[in-house]
A and B are shown apart, each in its own frame.
Chain A
C-alpha cells in the first residue's frame, strides 16, 4: 500500500467502493484523529466518540456503493458522522453532557507549572462547560468551522444549507458561546 499515501481521499474511497476494502485503512489513518476530536467535543464523552468513529467507518463500508464519482469524501464522512452522532443523542435523551471531571483533571495534569497556569486551566474548564451548554446545532457548527479545517462551502454541504446561512449560524453560535463563557466566569468571581 505504498502508493496509497499518494492517492487523494476521493481516489481511495472510489477504490473501496470498487472492492479494494484495504484502502479504507489509509482513509482511517488520515481522518480518525480529527473525526474523533470533533465527536469527543461534540458528545462530551470520549468512549462514545470512539464508538461513533468506529460506526462511521463501518457505515462507509456498508454504504460504499452510494459514494458518488463526483463526491467529496470529507463532506460525506462528516455527513455519516452527523447521523451517527444523532443516533447517539437520541439514545442518550439528547441531554448535553456535563463536563467530565476526570477530563478537567487531565488538562490540569498536562501542565508543567500548575500554580502559574491555574487561571488558564480554569478558563479551559469554563469553555468546556460553555461548549457543553450550547445548543447541539450551535456546538456542531462551531466545531466544524474551528477544528476541522473545513471551508464554509464544505460546511454548508455537510449541513445542507446555503453558505450564507452557515456563516450566520457560526457567528450566532460564537456569540452564544461567548455569553455563556463570560457568564460562567462571572459566577466564579461572585
Chain B
C-alpha cells in the first residue's frame, strides 16, 4: 500500500468503518511512514475537536412557536369540516325569503316601541369648580382602569386560541395606543395560558423602548411561575438594555426555589447588562 492509497482510507479508519484486513494494511503503512503519521494525527485531532464542539440548544421560543403553529393548523384543518357539515342539510327555499323579511319587521317594531317609551333627554349644565373637576378626572381614570381589568377578565373567558388571535392581531397595528399596550401587559401578567403569555411578550418587543412596557415586564417577571416564560422575559429585558432590572435579576440569582434555567439566564443577563 502506498501513501495515496493509505490516505484515501484515513477517513474510514478514523470512523472505524474500515474492514479488518484493509485496516491492518493501512496501520502497517502508517507505522513505517512518518509523513502519513503526521497527516493521520492532524486529521484525528481535528475530528476530535469537531466532535467535542458543544451542541447548541434552542431557546424556549421555538417550542412555543411550534405548538402555536400546530394548534393553528389543527384548527384550520377542522374548520372546513365544520363549515361543510351544515351545507349538506337541505334548507327550504321559503326560509331564504321569509328570514330577511322577519328581521326587518322586528327592527321596525323595536324602533317604534323605543320612540314611544324613551324619555326625552334634556341637557343639564351644572357649574363645577377646579377641585371638583380634578376629582372627576381622578374618578374617570379609576373607572377606566377598572374597565380595562373587567375587559381583560371578560377576555379571559374566551378560549385560549381566541385570546392568542387577539394578541396576534395587535402585531398588525401600525401605532397601538396605551390601551393596547396595557392589554398586552395584562395578558403577560394575568393570562393562564403559557402560549398566550409568550405571544404577548413577543408582541411587546417593538415597544421595548417605552418605560411602561419595560416596567410591566419586570413586574410580571417576579409573579411568573413558568420558567419558560421567565427566561423569555429576562431575554426581553436584556434586549431592552433595562438596567432597572438588575436588582430583580440579582434576587432571582440568589433565590434557591427558582428554577435553575431561570437563575442561569438571570446570571447571564446581569453580565450582559
Contact = CB atoms under 8 A, between A and B. Distances in A.
Interface string B37-73: 0000011001101111111111101110111011001
A37 B56 contact: yes
A123 B55 CA distance: 16
B77 interface: yes
Interface string A4-27: 000000000000000101101100
B236 interface: no
B190 interface: no
Given A177-B46, A178-B42, A53 B53 contact: no
A22 B74 contact: yes
By secondary structure, the B interface counts as: helix
B49 A32 contact: no
Given A21-B73, A170-B11, A50 B46 contact: no
B146 to A, nearest CB: 40
Contacts of A34: 55
Given A54-B65, A171-B11, A178-B42, A40 B56 contact: yes
Contact of B50 (A33, A61, A110, A177): A177
A79 interface: no
Interface residues of B, number: 32
A49 interface: yes
A146 interface: yes
Contacts of A178: 42-43, 46
Given A21-B77, A50-B58, A175-B43, A127 B49 contact: yes
A109 B54 CA distance: 13
Interface of B: 8, 10-12, 42-43, 46-47, 49-59, 61-63, 65-67, 69-70, 73-74, 77, 268, 271
Interface of A: 19, 21-22, 24-25, 28, 32-34, 36-37, 40-41, 46, 49-50, 53-54, 57-58, 61, 107, 109-110, 123-124, 127-128, 131, 142, 146-147, 167, 170-171, 174-175, 177-178, 181-182
Given A46-B59, A127-B46, A182-B42, 15 more contacts: A21-B77, A22-B74, A28-B63, A32-B63, A32-B66, A36-B56, A37-B57, A46-B58, A49-B56, A124-B49, A124-B52, A124-B54, A142-B50, A146-B50, A177-B50
